């Protein structure tokens, strides 16, 4: 599925509604549409786009052996 900036903006807005406080930092993968949407929603908050930063969230969904 392709995700353009408009769809990414809608997704990020929906995710922000579920948070109790606004985030100080956003960690995303290297999809450029997330960065474009984030600059429109919250330009002052930093967006980190590095390969290994989201491994903790990804690994939390794995079953324990």
> What is the Cα 20 distance to its own chain's centre?
16
Q: What angle do CA 32, 34, 35 make, to 5 degrees?
A: 70
Question: Of 20, 57, 16, whose CA–CA distance to 37 is shortest?
Answer: 16
pLDDT in tens, 22-37: 888 888 877 888 888 8
Give residue limits of the domains in the chain. Answer: 5-59
Segments of the chain scoring below 50 in pLDDT: none
pTM metric for this prediction: 0.64
């Amino acid at each position: 599925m392709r995700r353009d900036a408009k769809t990414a903006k809608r997704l990020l807005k929906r995710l922000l509604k579920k948070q109790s406080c606004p985030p100080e930092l956003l960690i995303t993968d290297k999809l450029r549409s997330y960065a474009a949407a984030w600059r429109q929603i919250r330009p002052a908050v930093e967006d980190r786009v590095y390969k290994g930063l989201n491994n903790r969230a990804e690994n939390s969904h794995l079953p324990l052996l």
